[in-house]
Amino acid sequence: MIVRVVNGRIATPGSILRSAEIAVAGDRIAAIGPEGSGRVDATIDLDGGWLLPGFIDCQVNGGGGVLFNDHADPDAIAAIGAAHAGFGTTGFLPTLISDTAPQISAALDAVDAAIAKGVPGVVGIHIEGPFINEAKRGIHEAHRIRRLDAAMLSLLTAPRRGRVMLTLAPEQCAPEDIATLTRYGVIVSAGHSDATYEEAKAAIAAGLSGVTHLFNAMSPLHHRAPGLVGAALDSNVWCGLIVDDAHLHAAAVRIAVKVKGVDRLMLVTDAMPTVGTEATDFMLQGKRITVRDGVCVFSDGTLAGTHLDMASALRNTVEVTGLSVPDAATMASTTPARFLSLAGQRGALAAGLRADWVSFDRDLRPTGTWIGGVALHADTPALLRASH
């Protein structure tokens, strides 16, 4: 299939094309380059907008009215993915916040089943807690917090179809546990942590490679006690950022970009089930969470995930940092692909990678999403037209 993209800007690695033809073979990009093919099967008219690589979101609690903690099954994962695909997400990790061992096991099995079933977009799972620090638990329930033990290590290191990402507090486990997890392919990230700089650096030396929602729910940077934030900024780990004008001050986003660069920062949503719906509240482990001015909060004011989608995260990032659209898209696509060791499959518009992309209008509003060469969403002005 040959897809012609016209009247806009196409962000490919190292260059911006004004028009292009994308040859798709199966679910992959076989070739991408300037117009010139005699045969065209479909045309995407960007109308002055952008074509970007599909977004990869490492932290998706829910969407489309579904919370993963409540519905750990392939149909629920499909519903969550479909809701986020409308905002350009073509790869995601369903995220389970601190829960029981049986629920963690069920969630792991559900993601395996979803991948086997071919649910669009799902590339693995993110287990966020319960091996966290109660002092930085945020909306996570205190009674679910526990230490990492041999039984959980065995469960988490069992072979899986997709990536397994685990958020833990480094000070709540031994560096040897982190080394064991990473040896078996688990992607370990620090979060909901009161770790000292020294504890965080020891975890990084043991194999920890990420920091979950940098700045939020963690020991802050102090000039005599740099904490987890200081260790994150002073090392080569990947860091997630929630850019929703509630979790982070714009200056914190700019500082992170200046220190880490777009190649080590990932946009994440931490999205809750209201994304993709008109709902203004939902239940989270027995607590009613309300969406107020686009922010998910509990009655005591505690932030409880977000009502954020990846398209908005991209738009917000461009606005508060002044980054170019391609640089912001790197944070939404290329960097998370590298973090998940998926750079050979996803994260860029390049030959050999999956045919995952999203179109935007001039105002950076999403107008179409393709996953694996299939158009899941296509609205004007990015019209998908069969050519004869």
Three-state DSSP state, 29: strand
Q: Is 387 exposed, middle or buried (0-12, 13-18, 19+ CB in 10 A)?
A: exposed
Q: Where are the alpha helices (DSSP H) in the chain?
A: 74-85, 101-117, 150-156, 175-183, 197-206, 227-233, 250-260, 310-321, 325-329, 335-339
Q: Which amino acid, residue 254?
A: R
Give the Cα separation of 296 and 347 in Å (integer).
29
Residues labelled catalytic? 270
Nearest-angstrom CA–CA distance, 347 and 366: 17
Burial degree of 251 (CB within 10 A; 0-12, 13-18, 19+): exposed
> Residue with structure tokens 């490679």?
209
CA 267 from chain center: how many Å? 6
Nearest alpha-carbon partner for 3 in 311, 379, 374: 374
